[in-house]
Homo-oligomer: A and B are copies of this chain.
Amino acid sequence: MKETTLKEIAEALGISITTVSKALKNYSDVSEKTKKAVLALAEELHYTPNSFAVNLRTKESKTIGLIIPEVVHHFFSNVINGIIAEAEKHGYLVIILQSNESLELEIKQVALLINKRVDGIMLSLSNESNDDFHLKEILRKEIPFVQFDKISKLIPSSKVIINDQKAAMEAVQHLIDQGCKKIAHIRGPENPQNAIDRFLGYKKTLEKNDIPFNSNLVYTCIGAGFEEGFNFAKQIIEEHPDVEGIFAVTDMVAIGVIAYLNEIKLKIPEQIKVVGFSNWFISQVISPKLSTIDQPSYEMGVHVFDLLLEEINIRKEGKEFKPRIVELETSLIIRESSMKTN
């Protein structure tokens, strides 16, 4: 499946990528000799001079669309990198659209991708998304479609997910094992399934350990960012000065929590322990280093593309496609913020 690249032709002939590209476009400032050498090698290696020209013959655009809530997010950025690396290997270009957690934008972007006739669509739902008729449109048009991370369970497409509930259970059990009994949870927004599942993991683990669930210890984010973490930490300490542990829905929220606790000089982990979720890069360079759940983000991107390609190829052959669900393993990473101290 691997496509020949301009770089390979350039290296084989000892000339620049630019010269190869110019030669293929018949620019006048490239010598006839070089042009001939490039064209001969391009033909030998089955190079496709313009991958969009393929469009006309095969009706494939070799372009796929990715809709993602926000790219500034460390987790999604790594998913994007995984998707692009894998797509490049197979000669696909990735169009990225950022929904900004808005259902309205997401609906428009799905329409745009359908309209631009991409070969497939990959999507992680915005927090605002509480309906899925625009996703049904993708299925109705039989466009290869993979959902990942924030998904609609009811839409029968391929999916790449983690087990958020199980991962949250591991995080909370760890806090209990370190001696915490009174544990607050800063949860994600109302809609997304992964925020619900992480909350359920928290609740179930308390019950499993005979710790009564107290809804006053649960705080709900709107955006799940640094500032919300900072402000909720303040509120938690004011309302529950005897709290022993905080489980935050994402690392960015947990980092806000740590910033506040550092500010009021509460000792982490001696006086209070903190666990995040996602294992962002930043978690290992802050002080104290943050314990968290590692989500395999780059690997998730690779699986997302591979599932999409599988569907593209099966549909191309006119065969029936059965969606597949890939569940990736997470792991608890214990760092300074939740170490045992007594």
Contacts and interface: CB of A to CB of B under 8 A. Distances in A.
A219 to B, nearest CB: 20
Q: A6, A63, A71: which has the most chain B beta carbons within 10 Å?
A: A71
Given A93-B108, A111-B52, A112-B93, A81 B72 contact: yes
A154 to B, nearest CB: 14
Interface residues of A, number: 53
Given A96-B97, A97-B93, A98-B84, A112 B71 contact: no
Interface string A96-126: 1110100111011101100110000000000
Nearest to A50: B111
Secondary structure at the A interface, as helix, strand, loop or mixed, is helix
Contacts of A281: 226
Contacts of A259: 285
B21 A133 contact: yes
Given A16-B131, A134-B21, A285-B255, A93 B109 contact: yes
What number of copies of this chain does the assembly contain? 2
Contact of A112 (B16, B52, B70, B134): B52
B71 A74 contact: no
Given A116-B116, A133-B22, A72 B63 contact: no
A303 to B, nearest CB: 19
Contacts of A326: none
A78 B84 contact: no
Interface of A: 5-7, 16-18, 21-22, 27, 50-52, 63, 70-72, 74, 77-78, 80-81, 84-85, 88, 93-98, 100, 103-105, 107-109, 111-112, 115-116, 130-131, 133-134, 226, 255, 259, 281-282, 285-287
